[in-house]
Amino acid sequence: MTDLAPWVLPALQLVVIVIAAVVAIIAVRVGAAATARQLLRRDERADGSVLPSGDLERRVRTIQHLAVRAVTVAIVVIASLMALHDLVGLDIGPAVAGLGVVAIAVGLGAQALVKDWLAGIFVILENQYSRGDVVQIAGVDGVVEDFSLRRTVLRDGNGTVHSVPNGLVGVASNLTRVWARVNLNVSVTYETDIEAASRLIDRIGEEMQGDPEWSGRLLEAPTVVRIDSLGDNGITLKVMGQVRAAEQWAVAGELRKRILTGFRANDITIAFPHSVVVNRPASPTVAVQTPVAAPSPEPAEPSDEEVGS
């Protein structure tokens, strides 16, 4: 038993370290989700908005995933150093100092990478976007498929995947945050009765809001808010309505279809560019007479008298 004692104690210490690391990772996973949910709820109370349950869970999962990934790496490094200290007697002090030197060297040699990480941290802290959101960043728009502290992965409408370093994100435009707006321009001819056309569009918006298929997507019925412009081809009416996040494209498509059907049924013409072709008669041909130079007189033949002299 005494021969086994020197081996049993380090083994028990190693088991304790592993158990403590696993418990710490589980605690971080649970704590990160709860903390993220509380922070998001606080943001809701601050700006008066309410995140739908689906959006809330997506953001919670994004924050939880990043927090667990970062803390897990730190826990594994610390547990490994402690295990080496207990098993082989490694002095942790120099090892930690060496890691600090390596970190400084990496920070100086990979400033772009550090910039990406810092930008990713602020994206998370400020809740700019998360997985599943439709965003525009660094000149690229698409659905956020993956996110880490270093880069954001987007898939655009054509299915192309874009990997954008977070350090390049100067302005992040989130198109699916809490609610969105339908914003349409409908052009009609100058002969159209504007009041009748406006009432028709308003009625179409109210019918959509009363439709069970679309009522859950609409927060505010689309209506004509103003005459937006008087163009060369017709009058442009501005139609706006409030919808749930990520529903603006589907609602706008259905609204266009219903407006087109309603215009056809009520003999309202949509304005379109006109081309005017002007045929001018050919100009008559004018005969131009070129003056002809008079022939030069031939020299006169000398007379007999002039020859004799």
- Indicate whether 68 and 12 sit together in one domain: yes
Give the Cα separation of 36 and 59 in Å (integer).
8
Burial class (CB in 10 A: 0-12, 13-18, 19+), 281: exposed
Q: 212 in a domain, yes or no?
A: yes
Q: Which of 83-92, 188-197, 223-232, 300-309 has the lowest mean pLDDT?
A: 300-309
Q: Which of 75-84, 89-98, 155-164, 227-236 has the lowest mean pLDDT?
A: 89-98
Q: How far is CA 258 from CA 171, 194, 219, 254, 266, in A?
A: 35, 18, 18, 6, 12
Residue 297 has what pLDDT? 56
- Indicate whether 197 and 225 sit together in one domain: yes
Q: 293 in a domain, yes or no?
A: no
Query: Look-up: residue for tokens 């403590």?
Result: 20
- Indicate whether 185 and 170 sit together in one domain: no
- Residue with the larger pLDDT of the pair 54 and 12: 12
Q: How many domains does the chain have?
A: 3
Closest CA to 172 of 235, 131, 128: 128
Q: 31 in a domain, yes or no?
A: yes
Q: Which domain range does residue 233 map to?
A: 179-265
- Indicate whether 9 and 94 sit together in one domain: yes
SS3 236: strand
- Indicate whether 166 and 187 sit together in one domain: no
- Indicate whether 224 and 253 sit together in one domain: yes
In tens, the pLDDT along 154-194 reads: 999 899 999 999 999 989 999 988 889 999 999 999 999 99
Q: 117 in a domain, yes or no?
A: no
Task: Check whether 307 has a pLDDT greater than 50.
Answer: no
Q: 295 in a domain, yes or no?
A: no
- Indicate whether 167 and 184 sit together in one domain: no
* End position of a domain, from candidates 93, 109, 125: 109
Residue 242 has what pLDDT? 94
Tell me the CATH number at 230.
3.30.70.100
- Indicate whether 99 and 33 sit together in one domain: yes
Query: Look-up: residue for tokens 């100009």?
Result: 283
- Indicate whether 224 and 183 sit together in one domain: yes
Give the Cα separation of 78 and 35 in Å (integer).
24
Contacts of 66 (CB under 8 A, 6+ apart): 120, 124, 147, 148, 149
- Indicate whether 71 and 87 sit together in one domain: yes
Half-sphere exposure of residue 154, counting CA atoms within 13 Å on the CB side?
Answer: 22
* Mean pLDDT of the 232-255 span: 93
* End position of a domain, from candidates 174, 201, 223: 174
Residue 142 has what pLDDT? 94
CB of 222 within 8 A of CB of 255? yes
- Indicate whether 77 and 166 sit together in one domain: no
Tell me the CATH number at 153.
2.30.30.60
Strand pairing partners for 173?
A: 136
Q: 247 in a domain, yes or no?
A: yes
Residue 8 has what pLDDT? 67
Q: 283 in a domain, yes or no?
A: no
* Mean pLDDT of the 225-232 span: 93
Task: Check whether 274 has a pLDDT greater than 90.
Answer: no
Q: Which of 20-29, 80-89, 219-228 has the lowest mean pLDDT?
A: 80-89
* End position of a domain, from candidates 174, 204, 226: 174
Rounded mean pLDDT of the chain?
Answer: 80
Give the Cα separation of 12 and 126 in Å (integer).
43
CB of 70 within 8 A of CB of 77? no
In tens, the pLDDT along 201-211 reads: 999 999 999 99
Q: 80 in a domain, yes or no?
A: yes
- Indicate whether 210 and 140 sit together in one domain: no
Give the Cα separation of 179 and 51 in Å (integer).
9
